[in-house]
Structure 1
Amino acid sequence: MTRKTQTEPGRRLRCAIYTRKSSEEGLDMEFNSLDAQREACEAYIASQRAEGWACLRERYDDGGVSGGTLDRPALKQLIADVEDGLIDVVVVYKIDRLSRALMDFSKLVEIFDRHGVTFVSVTQSFNTTTSMGRLTLNILLSFAQFEREVIGERIRDKVAASKKKGMWMGGYVPLGYDVVDRKLIVNEAEAAQVRTMFELFARSDSTAAVIRELNARGIRSKRGRPIDRGALYKLLHNRIYRGEITHKGETYPGMHEPIVDAELWDAAHAVLSGNRNQRAGPAAAPSRPYCVA
């Protein structure tokens, strides 16, 4: 990480003070918590005047905003000014004024570091302009990385366990289903279209002819797009239609209702496995009459 370990002679470091208070209580007072934080930060900056530190007039005050989120008006403006190169040092009264969440804290530090900005906590001897401050920062970021990895592992384990129970764990909702209370529920109108696709494919010698027929009937994808070869093949391979859930190559009985029965699924997949080469390009052979109303 590139840091300013010492001030170049005659260089002026622009210091932005960020203050925050979680509740709105007392903010209407003539001298409130935000003012007290700013006063302490201004005093610290004044003590560093010999190092070229100068306090910016702009105020970055978030009153009545939780430190558990980065969605704060003054913080957003602070980040924008950092990215615009208007700030050299961010000064806070305590680290938790900047963020109470370690992962959010690490994100902010990454932004500061990317733009060559250091930050200081005036009451906790935390100063990234010094080697000890940078060591402390690296320790904190290491714990943040560990926390991210542990959370990721927990999420992956939860998804795997849920899918083994047959639960749908989100993502793109397939044609033929709607989501109600985070569960797949059959949409009868769309389900009929899905079955039509399987039936047409199972009885036709030509994928191109099937696609033309689907377009002629006005059958579209979940997003309203015409069905092409790729979309058709993806649908035909989707085991959700058999009432199953897949995870990393394994298949489990799903908690949702199937749309395609085993006989129709097998018929379509017999064609898929037996005629891949013929169906890879436009089919010139005449197709058999459709048997689907």
Structure 2
Amino acid sequence: MKKVTKIDSRAVNPIGENEAPKLRVAAYCRVSTDSDEQKESLETQIRHYESYIKANPAWKFAGVYSDEGVTGTKKEKRPELLRMIADCEDGRIDYIVTKSISRFARNTADCLELVRKLQKRGIFIYFEKENLDTGTMESEFMLSILSGLAAEESASISQNNKWSIQRRFQNGTYKITCPPYGYDSIDGILVINEREAKVVRFIFSEILSGKGTPQIAKELNRRGRKGKMGGQWTSTSIRGMVINEKYTGDAVFQKTYTDSNFNHRRNDGEKEKYLIRNHHEPIVSREDFEAAQAVIAQHRREKGIKPKQTKYLNRYPFSGKIICEHCGGTFKRRTHAYGRHKIAWCCGTHIKDIKKCPVKYIPESALECAFVTMMNKLIFANQAVLKPLLFSLRGVNADDGMERIGELEKSLEENRRQQEMLVSLLSKGYLEPAVYKKSNNELLREAERIQHQKDSISRLLNCDSQYLTEVSELLQYCTKAKMLREFDGALFSRFVERIHVYEREKIGFEMKCGVTLKERLCDWSER
């Protein structure tokens, strides 16, 4: 049986080719690994979409955007998707075709955010597998459910992969596919690359002779030696090599991990690590390796740098604490030679490539003003905000909390089943779109409320003693303090963990006591 795809009437030119411009249509496709089979699959998808779009006389081919060998859990990890969005914003694309919601985004928030951003510009997306066009009335409600299911599928796959990898960590069968400089990986076994190994031995000998990592990097660059990816040597890359235990023949697994939000983090004790002695042939002896660690530690002490701390982390109150919610980058301090805002903070990703992050700079004065406003609100309403939070922390019981979390998880599961039932009834024609819309809205609001309760209880159970202390100290300060008249950097560092930038005019102060307080920045463009 031939498959017939119904295309929304907006996609067809009702007037005629000579009387109206064609619809500029682009396609997006993605594969999650860089294996040969997946590469062939990606090439097949690209050819399919190119011929599919060109076959429609009312369409004009606007290109195929494809991400290869990347995760679908976060949009910022897919450069071609971001480039497509940028081209949409530049007015080069009118309509997008993609295989399925799970190929487009496995993160519900990202999916809905991108869909809504494009809808505001009159650009809609057609998902082939689900036969869903975001231009129809009920699409967003179905999209929220289906993308939520895709997110659950992604989380399930992630958990299965983690379980499998941990078992290989434990029984010593895990194969290192990305070897450090100085080694090649042959069938998962690390084999010394003698040409690179000479550089490794040179680095360790220079360290033991008392030279600093910047001097060693400068010397290697002068000699024309290339790094792992053919790039220049830096102080950071040298330091990373000197502390890598693999050069002694040992291997420590699970140095990093992926959290529940798919963020890659360094393992500082949150997860179990696995050490395998004599895993492969060493390049340097354990004695030289340990002596090099002592030299590095001595250099840190001389410069006053503590472990896990960058040299300039505390140079300014905002340093390392402003996070871009659009791309996940960290804001950096910039000094402007001209204009009203001499000092500003800008996303590091935006600085490197404006196409990957559109968030523009924020004046430092606007951030300072927002902090003063937020603290004055707490000072004014501390009894109404902080005191109830303190009482709730003191009343947390671990057994009761875990029981309550279990009940909330059951409620979420039941809510999800009801959402699936609504989708099924709607697709079979047993439910009117208006009834579906109302019922689904109620379920989504209920699910959001339940999830919020679950997250709050989990946060309290995991860090209740820490949060209790922080809330107590913040309440004590706000009870006695007078309204702030100017920014206090020490006060900011004392109570604020980090700043989240949601938009250029909207930020959130993540307090050390576990709550995030949102503030709108003043419109400095008109001042």
User: Normalising by the residue count of structure 1, what TM-score does the alignment of the two structures yield?
Assistant: 0.55
* Superposition deviation, residue 234 in structure 1: 1.6
Question: 2:248 & 2:139 partners in 1: Cα distance?
Answer: 58
Q: Which residue of 2 aligns with 1:252?
A: 275
Structure 1 pair 67–242 and aligned structure 2 pair: CA distance change class (3 A): closer
2:12 is matched with 55
Query: Which whole-Å deviations, capped at 9, do the CAs of 1:222-250 have from their partners, x for residues lacking one?
Result: 34556443332221111121221342253
When residues 78 and 198 of structure 1 are mapped into structure 2, their CA distance, relative to the original with a 3 A threshold, is closer
Alpha-carbon distance, 1:136 to partner: 2.5
Quick one: distance in 2 between partners of 1:275 and 1:194? 20
Aligned equivalent of 1:234? 240
Q: Runs of 5+ in structure 2 lacking a partner?
A: 28-39, 54-60, 65-83, 255-266, 306-527
Name the residue aligned to 1:262: 286
| CA deviation profile, 1:1-31 (whole Å, cap 9, x unmatched) | xxxxxxxxxxxxxxxxxxxxxxxxxxxxxxx
Task: Give the deviation of 1:184 after TM superposition.
Answer: 2.7
CA distance in 1, matches of 2:187, 2:63: 39
Equivalent residue runs for 1:139-158 within 5 Å: 139-158=145-164
2:296 paired residue number: 272
In structure 2, the partner of 1:205 is: 210
SS of corresponding position for 2:174: coil
Shift in CA distance, 200/144, structure 1 to aligned 2, threshold 3 Å = same
Aligned pairs, number: 225
Higher relative contact order (CA 8 A, sep 6+): 1
Aligned letter for 1:252?
L
Whole-angstrom CA distance in 1 between matches of 2:222 and 2:125: 64
Q: Write the letter of the residue equivalent to 1:189.
A: R
In 1: Cα distance, 2:215 partner to 2:104 partner: 55
**Distance in 2 separating the partners of 1:119 and 1:262:** 57
2:117 to 114, 123, 140: 114
Please point out which of 189, 192, 209 is paired with 1:186: 192
Q: Give me the whole-angstrom Cα distance separating, in 2, the residues matched to 1:54 and 1:225.
A: 47
The separation in 2 between residues aligned to 1:193 and 1:234, in whole angstroms, is 14
Question: Structure 1 residue 131: deviation in Å?
Answer: 4.9
**Residue pair 1:119, 1:127 contacting (<8 A) in 2 also:** yes
The amino acid of 2:275's aligned partner reads Y
The Cα of 1:149 is off from its aligned counterpart by 2.1
How big is the shift at 1:143? 0.7
Cα shift readout 1:26-85 (whole Å, capped 9, x = no counterpart): xxxxxx947xx36x65xx84xxxxxxx67226698x9xx989975321457487799347
SS at match of 1:271: helix
TM-score by structure 2 length?
0.34
Secondary structure, counterpart of 1:115 in structure 2: helix
Change (3 A) 1:112 1:265: closer
Deviation at 1:179, TM superposition (A): 2.7
* 1:1-293 paired onto structure 2 within 5 Å: 33=2, 37=4, 45=9, 55-56=12-13, 71=46, 72-73=49-50, 74=52, 77=62, 83=88, 84=91, 87=94, 99=99, 101-104=100-103, 113-116=116-119, 117-118=123-124, 131-164=137-170, 165=172, 167-171=174-178, 173-202=179-208, 204-207=209-212, 211=216, 220-224=226-230, 227-243=233-249, 244-247=251-254, 248-249=267-268, 250-253=273-276, 255-278=279-302
Structure 1 residues 136 and 128 mapped into 2: Cα distance closer, same or farther (>3 Å)? same
Alpha-carbon offset, residue 264 of structure 1: 1.5
Post-superposition shift, 1:127? 6.5
- Tell me: CA distance 1:241–1:133, structure 2 relative to 1, closer, same or farther (3 Å): same
State the secondary structure of the residue aligned to 1:197.
Answer: helix
Return the offset for 1:272.
2.5
Inter-CA distance 114–274: structure 2 relative to 1 (3 Å threshold): closer
3-state SS of paired residue (2:191): strand
Shift of 1:120: 7.7
